[in-house]
Amino acid sequence: MATERHYSPVDRLLLQADAALRTLLPFSGQPYRPSPGIVQPDAELNESDARHVAGLMRINHTGEVCAQALYQGQALTAKLPEVRSAMEQAADEEIDHLAWCEQRIRELGSHPSVLNPLFYGLSFGVGAMAGLISDRVSLGFVAATEDQVCKHLDEHLDQLPQEDRKSRAILEQMRIDEEQHSTAALEAGGLRFPAPVKFGMTLLSKVMTKSTYRI
C-alpha cells in the first residue's frame, strides 16, 4: 500500500523555490493539456487589436502567476495533508493556463509582465497567511479568488475581437476550469467570504489588471 511521503522543512522550501522558478522563467512550465487555441485558425489582427489582446492575455498570465503563488503558499502552511494535496493538485492544473497564456502572448509579438516576480511574492505571502489561519479560510480564499478570475475572464471574452478564435478558445477553457476549482474548494469545506471581503479583493485585483495590461 502506498504511503504519503514526508518532506522536511528544508525539502519543502526547496520545492517552493523550484515551483517559483518554473512559474517565473519563460516557457519553464510544461502544460499537461495542449492549448485549446492550437486547433483554431490564425486571425489577421490589426496592430491596435493585437496590442489590446496581448494586454488582456498578459493580465490573465499574471493572474495565473498569482494563482500558482497562492496555491504554493497555502500548500506550505496547510494543516491537513488532504488540503495540502488539493492545493498542489490545483497548482498543477493552473500550469496549463500559465503556459497557454504565455504561448498566446508570444504569438501576438508581446511579452509577459515584468511585474510578475512582485505579484508572485505578494500572492505567496497571502496564501501562506491564509493557510496559517485555518484550512477552511484557505479553501475559502481559493473559491473567492477563482470567482474574481471568472469575472475577469467574462470581461475579457466580451472585449476580444470576434475573429480572434485562438484567444477565445483559451479563455473559455480557463473559465470552465476556474469555476470548477471554486466549486471544489467550497465543497471541500471552504468558508464563503462575506461581500466586504470580496469587495476588497476586487479592488486589489484592479491594481494588478491596470498595472500589467501594458507593463
pLDDT in tens, 15-50: 666 666 667 766 666 788 899 999 999 888 999 999
Q: Is the pLDDT of residue 14 over 90?
A: no
Indicate left, alpha or beta for 45 from its phi (over 0: left) and psi (-120 to 50: alpha): beta
The per-residue pLDDT for 81 is 75
Interval 66-87: pLDDT, tens: 888 888 887 777 777 776 676 6
Architecture of domain 46-212: Up-down Bundle (1.20)
Any known ligand binding at 107?
Answer: no
User: 193 to each of 94, 97, 152, 172, 196, how far by Cα in Å?
Assistant: 22, 25, 19, 25, 8
Q: Is the pLDDT of residue 2 over 50?
A: no
Indicate left, alpha or beta for 87 from its phi (over 0: left) and psi (-120 to 50: alpha): alpha
Confidence of residue 197 (pLDDT cuts 50, 70, 90): confident
CA angle 166, 69, 60 (to 5 degrees): 25
Interval 106-165: pLDDT, tens: 999 999 999 999 999 988 888 888 888 888 888 888 888 888 889 999 999 999 999 999
Q: Which residues contact 175 (CB under 8 A, 6 or more apart)?
A: 150, 153, 154, 157
The per-residue pLDDT for 183 is 86
Can you give the pTM of this predicted structure? 0.84
Any known ligand binding at 146?
Answer: yes
CB 140 within 8 A of CB 190: yes
Cell numbers 495565473: residue: 64
Neighbouring CB atoms inside 10 A of 82's CB total 11
Percentage of the chain beyond pLDDT 70 is: 84
CA 79 to chain centre: 22
CB 63 within 8 A of CB 98: no
CB 119 within 8 A of CB 58: no
Any known ligand binding at 178?
Answer: yes
The per-residue pLDDT for 17 is 66
The per-residue pLDDT for 76 is 78
Give the start-to-end residue ranges of the domains of the chain.
46-212
The per-residue pLDDT for 3 is 45
Any known ligand binding at 47?
Answer: no
The per-residue pLDDT for 141 is 83
Cell of 157: 471574452
Percentage of the chain beyond pLDDT 90 is: 35
Mean of the pLDDT values across residues 204-215? 87
DSSP-derived letter for residue 4 is P
Any known ligand binding at 94?
Answer: yes
Neighbouring CB atoms inside 10 A of 207's CB total 10
